[in-house]
Amino acid sequence: MKVAKALKLKNRLAGELQKQKMLFLGCNVVEQGRNRSFDPRVILDKIKVQMDNLCLVKAAIAIANSSVVGDIALSTVRASVHFKIFRIAELKGLITVIEGLNTQDGTFVESSFQGNPITRVFQAVIVEPEKVQIISSMQKEIDDIQDEIDEANARVSLSVLDFVTID
């Protein structure tokens, strides 16, 4: 695939990913007795796959725009620092989305406009403890990736910058 086509693919993937995130946020909680249109866990799995694909496309474009010439192997893209940096950014964005997920579950009494109490029962698929666990798991992945980047950065020398000083 040429870079021009990859850029278009990246934009389509990013747009689709955003739609899936909005769908995810809107489908976790339904009022008892109503049908759930989508399973948020299935949508979250789809988001993770799309996010991975988006990171691959972004990293491949970044590598192609550097001094690399010719085809790039998938394993090379996945192992690249570009992929890791994009992965961290996408994970952080997804954590922000998940933090906004409504996990309201159970019976709640609300006031109507006339002041009369209204009892509503909500059912969440992903409840607060699971939400916290999902976020924690993603944060651990971010920390692990950052550790890999830090280790690599500690080994790389930029001798071309040895002449730069701060006075």
pLDDT digits (tens, 9 = 90+) for 123-133: 999 999 999 99
Q: Is the pTM of this model over 0.85?
A: no
30 to 27, 40, 121, 132: CA distances (angstroms):
7, 11, 9, 20
pLDDT of 161 reads 65
Cβ atoms of residues 51 and 73 within 8 Å: no
34 token code pair? 């109503």
Tell which residue, 131, 94, 84, 102, has the closest CA to residue 29: 102
pLDDT of 63 reads 84
Residues 6+ apart with CB under 8 A from 25: 97, 100, 101, 102
pLDDT digit string (tens) for 59-93? 988 888 876 556 666 777 777 888 899 999 999 99
What is the full DSSP assignment across 58-109?
A: HHHHHHHTTT--S---HHHHHHSHHHHHHHHHHHHHHHHHHHT-----EEEE
Buried b or exposed e, range 50-70, using 16+ CB within 10 angstroms: bbeebbbbbbbbbbbeeeeee
Cβ atoms of residues 107 and 121 within 8 Å: yes
pLDDT of 116 reads 84
Beta partners for residue 117, in sequence order: 111
Using a 10 angstrom Cβ sphere, with 0-12 exposed, 13-18 middle and 19 or more buried, the burial of residue 46 is middle
Low-confidence ranges of the chain (pLDDT < 50): none
pLDDT of 156 reads 76
Residues 6+ apart with CB under 8 A from 24: 40, 43, 44, 47, 97, 101
pLDDT of 160 reads 67
